[in-house]
Amino acid sequence: MIGKIIGGRYHIIYFLGGGGFGRAYLAKDNNFADDYWCVVKHLQPLLSPLSTMTWETAKRLFESEARVLRTLGEYDTIPKLIDYFEENQELYLVEEFIDGYELTEELENIFFDELQIYELLISILETLHFIQKNNVIHRDITPDNLIRRRKDNKLVLIDFGAVKQILIDNEGLPRRSHTIAIGKENYMPDEQANGRPGFYSDVYAVGVIVIQACIGAIPLKDDNGEFIWRNQADISPALANILDKMTSCYFKNRYQSALEVLNDINNFPNYLQAKSTNRKVKIFKFNYADIWYKRANELRNRKHHEAALLLYKIVIDIQEKHYKAWFNMGVTLSYLHLYNDAIQSYNQALKLKSKSSEAWFHKGILLYKLSSYEEALIAFNQAIQFHLHHATAWLYRGYILNLLGSEEEAIESFRAAIKLRPSYAAIFDNI
């Protein structure tokens, strides 16, 4: 799929991941002059002989996601629906790309104080309340479906592939109905596993995530199915009571909606007191450039050079002094035979790391290909100065000296190369 254009405008750049319903790709919308990034979801259910999932069920869930996103996507912390279409008898959904990192990163790397626990809880519940006002159950609220958005640090709820819309009866009350079991085990209550989810099921998932933030792990359960965690958490008993009520194993003992939890918290003296305290909290800093750099390297290693180039540019936009991004951009441009652009990229890398033997060497190779022999000789001399045992730099230095008529120096350079790498003797014999 990488490199293809879907729907006449969505240029597929990078594979983001996949599951039981399909595969998701990072794409560039060619209808915009600037780089406009989006997510293209391709319906491609993994149907095995043992699976209870049918194509019709997968298609229905996919179409449900499109309908829900069309309704909910105007909310700030839910991705916007951009497009939904069929092409070559296959279904595609296009939505806003949320540039950020998964909440999992924070849960694994920082300690949350009590106010941070409140802030985490409220930020998820406010989005969940909006969803529930529209009679929707998400059914897959997990840390990897909550993205901390780079531009404003807000938590965005993604992946509505498992959503279920609640039917309302004549009295305006939600009608319980049986459905297939969808969700991740650690965050899925019993009634959801049994195919009868409700608003309280998503409340449960949020509670588990927040307890995980309190203790640094998924809590264990006792023989009655209730979580054991309070002795591991440094929070007030009142807040712990709220979390216990959110995650009760029996849904009737739980908060029935996000709004019920929010009402309790907003009238909660402990929350108001925590907001007023002066505190020194270690802020989690995520290396956004690093995740884009890894994506670019994956594409380059798979020889998707045009796509890799786009992502290296994002890395540099985020962190201009990223030596490795400049260097690997040069390598990528070289594969595309854009030698002059590649040399400029190596020059930027050398501004950041002037003693980089690898950057001098790669620059020298391109100057050699462009027949700029004197400049290439300078580059190979620099590569050797900073890495005396660089056999290939010695070899190319010999080539250039030979071309420039300095035969004795060329022979010395070839001998140095052969000493470091005896297999080069055959090349020297041919010359």
User: Catalytic amino acids?
Assistant: 140
Burial class (CB in 10 A: 0-12, 13-18, 19+), 342: buried
* Residue 394 to residue 400: CA distance in whole angstroms: 10
Whether the CB-CB separation of 13 and 25 falls below 8 Å is answered with: yes
Give the residue from 12, 36, 7, 37 showing the smallest Cα distance to 24: 12
Sequence-distant (6+) residues with CB within 8 A of 111 are 216, 282
Helix (H), strand (E) at residue 217:
none
* Residue 380 to residue 383: CA distance in whole angstroms: 5
Whether the CB-CB separation of 40 and 94 falls below 8 Å is answered with: yes
Burial class (CB in 10 A: 0-12, 13-18, 19+), 163: buried
* Residue 164 to residue 156: CA distance in whole angstroms: 19
